[in-house]
Amino acid sequence: MGEIPSTRRRRRLLVGCLLRSTASAALLTWLYYLVPLDREFDAVSAALLVLGLVAFGCLVAWQVTAVTRAAHPGLRAVEVLATAVPLFLLMFSAAYFLVAKDRAAAFSEPLTRTDALYFTVTVFATVGFGDITPITRLSRVLTTAQMVADLILVGLIAKVLFGAVRIGLRRRDAAADSLSELPEDGP
C-alpha cells in the first residue's frame, strides 16, 4: 500500500488535535465539577490560587518548549491553548465559587459552580453583562487580579506561543533541509 496522501495526513492530524483539545477541556471541566470545594476562602485558599497560577505559568513555559520541538508546532500550540485557557479559567472559577460560598454578599447574587464559571468567562471575554457583579472588596480584588492575568494570558502567552511555533517551524525546516542535502546511497 502506498503512502498516505499529504492532505489526508494533515486532515487526520487536525482531527486528532481537535479531539485531544476537546477531550482536555472536557476533562478539566468535569474535574472542576467533581472536586470538593467545601473550604472557606481564606489566606490558604488565596495562597493555593497564587501557587496554582505559578504552577500554571511553569506548565505553559514547559509546553512552549514542547511546541518548539514538535513535529507540527502549530497543532501543538492549539493543544496547549486548549488545555491552558480552561485550566486558567477554572482556577479563577473555583476561587469565585469559594468566595461566594464563604461570603454571601461577595457578589450580586449567590454563585453555583456554573454561575462562577459563567462569571469567570464573562470577565475573561471582557463582555461584562452586569448580571453578576463583585460587591465586596475581596471579590473585586479577585476580579481585578483575573482581569490583569487575562491580559497577560492573552497578550504574553499568545505572543510566546506564536514565537514558539515559528521556532519550531524553522527547526523542522532546517532538519528537513539538512536531510535533503545528504548524499543518496545508490548502487
Per the structure, the count of domains in the chain is 1
pLDDT tens for residues 69-96?
988 888 998 899 899 999 999 999 999 9
Res 2: pLDDT: 42
Using 50, 70 and 90 to split pLDDT, how confident is the model at 122? very high
E strand residue ranges, the chain: none
**Residue 34 confidence (pLDDT):** 96
Structure pTM? Answer: 0.83
Which range is least confidently modeled, 30-39, 101-110, 159-168?
159-168
What CA–CA distance (Å, rounded) separates 112 from 97?
A: 7
**What are the Cα distances from residue 149, in Å, to 18, 40, 85, 117?**
26, 23, 11, 16
Within a domain: 123? yes
Structural domain contains residue 175: no
Considering the domain boundaries, does residue 181 fall inside one?
no
The CATH number of the domain holding residue 162 is 1.10.287.70
Identify the band that residue 21 occupies on the pLDDT scale cut at 50, 70 and 90: very high
Question: For residues 92 and 115, is the Cβ–Cβ distance under 8 A?
Answer: no
In a domain, 86, yes or no: yes
